[in-house]
Amino acid sequence: MTQKEAFTILESGHNVLLTGPAGSGKTFLLNQYIAYLKKKEIGVAVTASTGIAATHIGGRTIHSWAGIGIRDSLNARELQALSKKSYLKKQFEKTKVLIIDEISMLHAHRLDMIDGVCQTFKQNSLPFGGLQIVMSGDFFQLPPISHGQAEAEFVYKANVWPEMDVRICYLDEQHRQNDKQMTNILTRLRQNKLEAKTISLLESRLKVKPKRGIKPVRLYTHNADVDSINQAELDKIKAEEISFRMTGEGDRKLLETLKKNCLAPENLILKQGALVMFVKNKFKDDKVVYVNGTMGVVVGFDDEKFPLVRLNSGEEILVTPDSWTVDDENKILAKINQIPLRLAWAITVHKSQGMTLEAAEIDLSKSFGYGMGYVALSRLTSLDGLYLSGINEMAYRLDPQVAAYDQELLSLSIIAQENRPQIYNKPGQLSVFN
């Protein structure tokens, strides 16, 4: 399906899953639809399954938006407490469309939780309280982080899924890769049809050194490797170390959960010249100051030793401690405080999902999950930008359950394409909201 065809289905107000290969323009189309809704003054909530994914569409995490935070379940009492929060009431009053990007990384049970929250606030028993739900993502990419399950708990296993009447829009145009070799490698990988010559082509990039002047982003599969690289790069800087220790208060178990889920390290060490990434969103007067995933360089410290960070845009921001909390009925149960930064010379494959990179130094020698190789390699625009330091057999593997479901999605997309509205609505019309 083309983007234009998919847009007619979005515009008609159906619940939609935008899917397709990496680089097929899913996020671009989402941004087009978001702009369209805002122009028509239709309330749209822009969210994603992870903080970094949310940066690509100027939104926030779905967990934050729905008020579920780090919970794995919601009982009746907790749902009732949520329903009394005035900021959530105002949010739901104006929302008619809910966007969720990188849907492959959202657990099925959390989609059901979000459905329950929406029904409660909208006082409507229809799926998601009658909101139009627009999901975007590729199930061949990274799955939800599992804790011992045999199979990933993708959203299409949610209880609410069969009730949603989702229209599948499978985009097949390619907008990221600009050479046939890279496109062919990714297509073969996606179809599980890797031939010896395709593997040989990939392996020809092993141990290739970046050209002078090129500083590729470094992607690794494990946090330990990322931390080691970042520490080594920090050690190269001959400047004063400034340390920031995380503080916390409240329920001990909740504090441990907060620390585990917080992307900021417990002990953050910075120097002037350090490459950093923000790990929290900050807004002031309804304007974005920075978002989770924003990159920058530490250019100095103020009198209180707080870091001054120059963003890639050239803007400079003084970064002060921020907080992460767990609260219930307006009472804070646990709270941690830290400078919302982490070192960013290297990042994990998980955090790279959704990025487009001209050049990347990638180590896939320790790949341990389905889709890791595909996600990492599909970040690149060309084969020439790939500097491969290692690869193992697991890097070539994709989830077999997804391969079967992908064929079903392709068939459903053809049906949606054949039954889509044939023309755009006239100016000023959006029938489902009239």
Q: Are residue 138 and residue 79 in the same domain, yes or no?
A: yes
Residue 114 shares a structural domain with residue 234: no
Read off the CATH number of the domain in which 416 is found: 3.40.50.300
For range 271-288, the mean pLDDT: 81
Residues 291 and 166 reside in one and the same domain:
no
296 lies in which domain range? Answer: 223-343
Residue 361: Cβ-neighbour burial (10 angstroms; 0-12, 13-18, 19+): buried
- Could you give the CA distance from residue 51 to residue 29 in angstroms, rounded to a whole number? 20
| pLDDT tens for each residue of 343-390 | 989 989 987 876 777 788 999 999 998 889 998 998 888 899 899 999
Query: Do residues 227 and 169 both lie within one domain?
Result: no
* Strand spans (E) along 271-427: 275-278, 282-284, 287-290, 295-301, 307-311, 316-318, 322-328, 331-338, 341-343, 346-348, 360-364, 386-391
151 and 76 co-located in one domain: yes
Neighbours of 372 (CB within 10 A): 25
370 belongs to a structural domain: no
- Classify residue 193: in a domain, yes or no: no
Domain boundary among 307, 328, 343: 343
In a domain, 40, yes or no: yes
Query: Which residue among 327, 343, 359 closes a domain?
Result: 343
pLDDT, greater one: 37 or 52 = 37
The pLDDT-based confidence of 292 (bands split at 50, 70, 90) is low
| Model pLDDT, residue 430 | 41
The pLDDT, as a whole number, for residue 251 is 83
Flag whether 136 is in a domain: yes
**For 16-20, 118-122, 159-163, 332-336, which range has the lowest pLDDT when averaged over its residues?**
332-336
3-state secondary structure at position 290: strand
The domain boundary, picked from 322, 343, 364, lies at 343
The CA R_g of the chain, rounded to the nearest whole Å, is 22
Residue 348 lies in a domain: no
Statement to judge: residues 168 and 230 lie in one domain: no
Does 232 lie in the same domain as 110? Answer: no
The confidence band for 25, taking pLDDT boundaries of 50, 70 and 90, is: confident
Model pLDDT, residue 252? 86
Q: Assess whether 127 and 229 both reside in one domain.
A: no
CA distance 151 to 157: 11
413 & 270 share domain: no
Q: What share of the chain in percent tops pLDDT 90?
A: 50
Same domain, 227 and 167: no
Q: Is residue 299 part of a domain?
A: yes
Is-above-0.85 flag for pTM? Answer: no
Residue 61 inside a domain? The answer is yes
Q: What is the pLDDT of residue 182?
A: 87
For the ranges 81-90, 157-166, 248-257, 299-308, the lowest mean pLDDT is seen at 248-257
For the CA atoms of 118, 120, 125, 126, what is the dihedral angle to 10 degrees? -10
Residue found by looking up tokens 């031939």 in the block: 195
Does residue 50 sit within a domain? yes
Are residues 412 and 299 both part of a single domain? no
Same domain, 166 and 227: no
Number of compact structural domains in the chain: 2
- pLDDT value of residue 425: 45
